[in-house]
Amino acid sequence: EGGTALASTFAPFLVLRSAEQLKLTLGYMNLPLIVTGLASGVSLGFLGYTHCCIEDLALILNIPNIFTYVPSDCFELNRVLPHLINLKKPTYIRLTGLAKNKPVHEKDFTIDFFSPLEIFSGGKELLVISSGAISSNVKYVLENIDDKNKNKLSFMVLPFLDHKKTTEILSKKLPDYLNILVLDEGTFGGIASFISRVILENNIPTNFHFRVHPNSFLKCGDYQFMLRQCGLDIAGIESAIKNILN
């Protein structure tokens, strides 16, 4: 009694099959439960779309009261989870990627449950915002891109999603950038929709770009094959960035 219950299973079963239960227990009753969707996105693409979950954030973000956390790597999750338990809020943790994904964080960071985490701060011509395991692909691109383009851009990951507080913080940060590119292996209704809403509601004068899972079922294959079809592999992300900057 007085503790925080945690539950986990594959994301399509947790979010899609149990949508009404999540709406009532986490949203309507506002109970401090933490539910974790395993293998969200397209990491299990080789098993087909029965085991992929590209729609989870589109659903979760439209249920009031649910706090959402999308870690970029295992180090970040290990650092944040004890604080999530103490937060005692109804929470959805979206786990993407595979165990062999390269880490995004190389040093400790300050936890602010409502702010993006700045990974690279360069220029103001383009801000890249990503969420989840594909952030490692973004980091690789930025580490290897030519200096001319590197000096034009910045990179943030957006692990924490709270409609009120995250929106307030982003509304102050986003006006600094000429272009914003959002990358997410879910559908448009997830991170891209969240950011676009912040931009529209606050009349932020920026050029909005996004690359997400298309609104179609793709040919099935391993994780990198699935990301490549979405343009979210290393080559696709590099191409998206250079098309905006050049």
Give the CA distances from residue 204 to residues 27, 128, 155, 173, in Å, rounded to whole numbers and listed in that order. Answer: 30, 16, 18, 10
Phi, psi (degrees; rounded to nearest 5) at 191: -60, -45
Prediction pTM value: 0.95
Q: What is the pLDDT of residue 204?
A: 97
Q: Which residue has the tokens 């343009």?
A: 231
Give the CA distances from residue 160 to residues 9, 17, 174, in Å, rounded to whole numbers and listed in that order. Answer: 20, 24, 16
Secondary structure of the chain: what % helix, strand, coil (to 5)? 40, 20, 40
For 77, other C-beta atoms within 10 Å of its C-beta total 17
Kindly state the average pLDDT of the residues 192-215: 97
pLDDT surpassing 80 at residue 165:
yes
Kindly state the average pLDDT of the residues 169-182: 97
Report the Cα–Cα distance between both ends of the chain, in Å, rounded.
58
Instruction: Find all residues with CB under 8 Å of 58, minimum gap 6, and list them.
Output: 186, 187, 188, 189, 190, 193
How long is the chain? 246
Instruction: Find all residues with CB under 8 Å of 163, minimum gap 6, and list them.
Output: 61, 64
pLDDT band with cut points at 50, 70 and 90 for residue 1: low
Q: Encode pLDDT of 35-66 as tens digits.
A: 999 999 999 999 999 999 999 999 999 999 99
Q: What is the pLDDT of residue 105?
A: 87
Segments in the chain forming alpha helices (H): 11, 19-22, 56-60, 74-87, 135-144, 147-150, 165-173, 191-201, 223-230, 234-245
Tokens of 186: 């879910």
Tokens of 237: 């992300």
